[in-house]
Structure 1
Amino acid sequence: MKNKYQDLIEQTFDFPKDGFKVIDSELYFHNIPLMDIIKQYGTPLKLTYLPKIAQQINNAKTMFNVAMAKVNYDAKYTYCYCTKSSHFSFILEEVLKNDAHIETSSAYDIEIIKELHANKKITKSNFIISNGFKREPYLSGVLDLIHDGFNIVPILDNKRELDYYISNSNKKTEINIGIRIASEEEPSFEFYTSRLGIRHKDIQEFYKTKIKPLENVNLKMLHFFINTGIKDTTYYWTELLKALNIYCELKKICPELDGLNIGGGLPFKNSLGFEFEYEYMIEEIVAQIKSYCNSKGVKEPNIFTEFGGYTVAESGVNIYSVIDVKEQNDTEMWYMVDNSFITTLPDSWAINQRYILLAINHWDEEFQRANVGGMTCDSLDYYNSEAHVNQIFLPKIKNTTEEPLYIAFFNTGAYQEALSGYGGIKHCLIPSPKHVVVDLDEDGDYTTKLFSKEQSAKSMLKILGY
């Protein structure tokens, strides 16, 4: 009878795959022996594997370029990275090495752009797409970059945003802008229309009365995005066609308009059983844009995307030790780990985001159903289901004297540090784990670098005023 943990994984999934393999009962991630990383740095541990970022960017660019070639698409594709997914310097530097561009969300993003430029990581020719509802510091920062000659396109989130640029610049300053379309929300959502952007019925009149009379302001881009992301659903295709209709109607009276930004929302793998037809979706999006525009007698637009989670999620790994096993009743077994899910994987707690969860060692042991508990005193600090099934299984732990069981959550590289308040106060003062960056050298061998140590009590007390 095959009842080992490795048997379970191999029978349930197409395994090994996606950079995972097992050697001598231990898990390897993109040929990296995770047990060696643990022996060097200990747990809890956050790991970032930089080469995965380059792979994701280049995969997407290839898929879009192939899709465009298939339909003789006569315009360009530009890959932008959504910085809010992860602002770390090593992330941005890796993104920029791969001919990608930047999308910003706040005033402090502008300071990052300035820093990257000062360090020659970005040039003034890079596209900078500035999204979000903008207060004065953000507006001022955008205008600073415009005056400095950066290739920045602020996306108007409301009509008043344009007034700031006009009143705080002279008529000789060339300003390229975009408009975000306020899309209709998914039918199950609490609201009918997104709070973000300008409603589609107002856009054409706004252009005619406010933008067109300005000799130095050019409407270059329409921005379309829905919160549920890119999915093969009637809702997505309907909203895309609405955006294309607005684009075509505007293009007829606004010849300088030549960009359509379809935002982010390309999903990342949250299970070993994850399936998404990336090529089909991208080919269909490109084909529909070209077909609709051509049917209206309009040249197809340059396509921009702002993939954030897709870019960085699959580069991230969270590693924990199981430090105790608690059998609370006849059916519930708790594996207690050496950190907190609320503080290190807040999406798992807040929006029930699922990740790939695998044991790192003891693959030759029998498996059992388990709940995984964090260290805080919060009853919601747990993880007990996978994306493909409403339960999880892990190797049995025979006793506490043998080698501890180590477990890892994969594809955790997007948003988690920002949402948990990296370097700040955490629930129950559970510290941020150490963070290790993994790269490959010229020979293809992996290298590691400690980016940050585990958060200290001294740093927390300083924040708290002690």
Structure 2
Amino acid sequence: MRTFTQHTTQSTDWSLQQSADLYRIPAWGKGYFGINDLGHLTVHPKQDAPPPSLPPSSISPSVAAPSSAAIDLKELIDQLRSRDIHTPILLRFTDLLRERLAEIASAFQTAITENDYQSNYCAVYPVKVNQQRHVVEEVLGFCKQHNFGIEAGSKPELLAVLALVTDNDTPIICNGFKDDAFIEAVILASKIGRNIIPVVEKLSELRLIIRCAKKHNVRPRIGVRVKLATTAASKWEDSGGMRSKFGLFISELLDAIEILRSENMLDCLQLLHSHIGSQLSDSAQIKRAVNELARVYCELHKSGASMQLLDVGGGFGVDYDGSQSTAHSSINYTPQEYANNIIFHIKEACDAAQVPHPTIISESGRAMVAYSSVLVFDILGWSGFKRFPLPEATPKNLEDLIKPVQTLYETFAEINTDNYIEYYHDAQMNRDEALSLFNLGYGSLQERGLAEKLFFGICSKVLTIVKTLPDMPEEFANLEAMLADTYFINGSVFQSLPDSWAIEQMFPIAPIHRLDQEPTCRGKLVDITCDSDGRIEKFIDATGTKDVLELHTLTDDPYYIAVFLVGAYQEILGDLHNLFGDTNAVHVSLDDNNQVSIDEVVEGDTVSEVLRYVQYEPEELRRNMRRIIEQSIKNKKLTVNEGKALRLFYEQGLAGTTYLNPDSNT
């Protein structure tokens, strides 16, 4: 059993509201997440998390009213542990996914009604956002309730979708580059009655579609993607605009019309599509792009094409940091404003051109699934400069120490609010001098260690002083980050949070319990990979980002933190750095009595499975290891019992998870 020593005392007047404000839960949680009277984070599928300031009885997790039914994350993790399902765990909340799709559908229906729009709305789920079978099946089930559809952007995705969609009503949009086999599959699916539309990304695809359609005597519904002049200022801005790799230039679009006209297939062109970027943060960008796209649509209709569908693409973002701004990790609009902008501008363009209103399609994958997944890690341990035990008194042999260490003792004892800047500069100089003397052979290892402890002790005192100032001097801006504790998470950033590492995507992070206690530590998170990039060093803050996360001291009890809004892209983009595989994934819902139901447990990758990914055959490894052990016993390097223990460890290791067991006694 791991043992941690608690170094600080907790404040007794800390409130739940302070925790909610500190971690910005109401801002990014949008009513889906809250805190109960136990100080535990809760999930609210009905988007009705009560404010933490309510009396405890009104937010009790054990006697929750039907209107505020909640799932206690800490209790859920404890239940899973009792079933030998250990962290790291990806929790997927089925009810939250259902509610998110319903919220999007409701926003567009409201906009259609208020604007007297004379057609319909259909969201399609892009499989690339999360291709996990259980997720796709759940999305498809909920999509049927709203007449929504699905999008496939590659041959493997198309093969999966064709087998999962068993009716002729669900719209299937096919994006991405296509070869002959891809297009023939689409045409044949159309022939058996599937509601499937291939979107032309380049002119050569149109010719393939025409040839294949004639071969099988099918008049397919065809879509075409256009490159707009409008671009979006975001991390994904190159996925839209004139420089995007997908779609046709306007001149090519005109060529496509003439090709279809010459083949007597212009009536087959029924959908116009464009994509200006993912995670669009500014509603003004959406308005400009939709207006331009709608104008193109109207011109296509006037050209004689049987236009019926207008696909505004993806881009419907998620407010990861809760700032409701144009920051990359935020959005400055609500689902209702997003729907209003699209409906209004398409209607305005169509009415001006006297063109019938099209059915509007959006590929809102991120907005659909991001909220529904929460990743929970346990903390394996911590370290940090502030953990160093500092000298309580000046040693009797002070004069025997090298001069820089003597001065550091004096500085540590005498620093105050009047001299802290001067003494901080002195401490830096004396720390450097102590290191130089050590490197030249004039200082001992013990003296170097003392210089290190004293310097960081002085820095801690300086930080305490400058944090009381109305304006922190610029030279101390990075002091808190330098002194931050390191919390070791049982997981892999590369596997579970690749966007955090690759593009510095911000995700909300918070402890799932002890929120009724003041977090007295300031930490950064590092994973258990051997790569120095496996860390999280930026966290959401009311003013943008901060370099540390407020956390609690560790005790002998497990300490859990969670990363929220990870349902989009993170699972499928994860890699096998250090051969850490998929985590356990658990599907959770509330039954009719508001009781937690564990609907599905998808076990994470075993060591054997990830070894197979990189062409190691576990059976061969097992045989080789057995031969090595037997030879070692024969050579008397191991006893029979030792050989048996080593073989058992190896067998269990191959069959076990790639992550550490938090309940291990080792």
Partners of 1:427 and 1:59 lie apart in 2 by 37
What is the TM-score when the length of structure 2 is the normalising length? Answer: 0.65
Which one of 181, 184, 208 corresponds to residue 226 of structure 2? 181
Amino acid at match of 2:580: I
Return the alpha-carbon distance in structure 2 between the equivalents of residues 168 and 207 of structure 1.
Answer: 18
SS in 2 for 1:238: helix
Could you say what secondary structure the match of 2:182 adopts? helix
What SS is found at the alignment partner of 2:269? strand
The alpha-carbon deviation at position 148 of structure 1 amounts to: 2.0
- 1:94 Cα deviation from its structure 2 partner: 2.0
* Percent identity between the two aligned chains: 23
Match in the other structure for 1:379? 532
Q: How much has 1:302 moved relative to structure 2?
A: 1.3
Which of 459, 469, 488 pairs up with 1:336?
488
Tell me what 1:351 maps to. 503
Answer whether contact 2:283 2:333 (CA < 8 A) is retained.
no
Quote the RMSD (CA, aligned, Å).
2.4
2:551 matched to 1:395? yes
What SS does the aligned partner of 1:408 have? strand
Indicate yes or no: 2:98 matched with 1:54.
yes
CA deviation vs aligned residue, 1:199-219 (integer Å, no higher than 9, x gap) = 123212320233463248600
The CA deviation string for residues 153-207 of structure 1, in whole angstroms up to 9 with x for no partner, is: 1010011112212222337312110010123444685685211100123212320
Counterpart of 1:92?
Answer: 136
Structure of higher RCO (CA pairs closer than 8 Å, 6+ residues apart):
1
The structure carrying a bigger strand percent of its residues is 1
Moved more, 269-278 or 99-108: 269-278
Checking the alignment, whether the CA contact within 8 Å between 2:186 and 2:196 is kept in structure 1 is yes
Whether the 8 Å contact between 1:384 and 1:391 is mirrored in structure 2 is yes
The answer on whether the counterparts of 2:247 and 2:274 sit within 8 Å (CA) in structure 1 is: no
**CA positional deviation for 1:82:** 1.1
Matches within 5 A, 1:30-429: 30=44, 31-39=70-78, 40=80, 41-98=85-142, 99=144, 100-117=148-165, 122-170=166-214, 172-184=217-229, 185-186=231-232, 192-211=242-261, 213-215=263-265, 218-274=268-324, 276-328=333-385, 330=456, 331-367=483-519, 368-388=521-541, 389-399=545-555, 401=556, 403-421=557-575, 426-429=576-579
3-state DSSP of counterpart to 2:41? strand
- Bigger helix share: 2
Alpha-carbon deviations, 1:69-117, whole Å to 9, x = none? 1111111111211111112232222222222211111111222223214
Q: Describe the superposition over 1:293-349 as per-residue Cα deviations: whole angstroms up to 9, x where unpaired.
A: 111222221111111111111100100011111104741211101111111111111
Query: Structure 2 CA distance, aligned partners of 1:384 and 1:64?
Result: 38
The TM-score, its normalising length taken from structure 1, stands at 0.91
Instruction: State the shift of 1:381 in Å.
Output: 0.9
- Structure 2 gap ranges (5+): 1-10, 45-69, 325-331, 387-455, 457-482, 618-666
C-alpha change, 1:304 and 1:178, in structure 2 (3 Å) is same
- Work out whether residues 177 and 217 of structure 1, in 8 Å CA contact, stay in contact via their aligned partners in 2: no
Q: Are 1:25 and 2:39 counterparts?
A: yes
State the shift of 1:272 in Å: 4.6
| Distance of aligned partners of 1:211 and 1:321 in 2 relative to their CA distance in 1, 3 Å threshold | farther
Q: Give a deviation string over 1:2-45, Cα, whole Å, max 9, x none.
A: 87484543344474943322231222222112223222222111
Stretch of structure 1 that moved more, 132-141 or 292-301: 132-141
Q: How far apart, in 1, do the equivalents of 2:262 and 2:364 lie?
A: 31
Larger radius of gyration: 2
1:231–1:273 CA distance, 2 compared to 1 (3 A): closer
Structure 1 contact 84–105 (Cα < 8 Å) conserved: yes
Residue 596 (structure 2) aligns with: 446
- 2:16–2:35: 8 Å Cα contact kept in structure 1? no
Q: Which range moves more in the overlay, 39-48 or 315-324?
A: 39-48
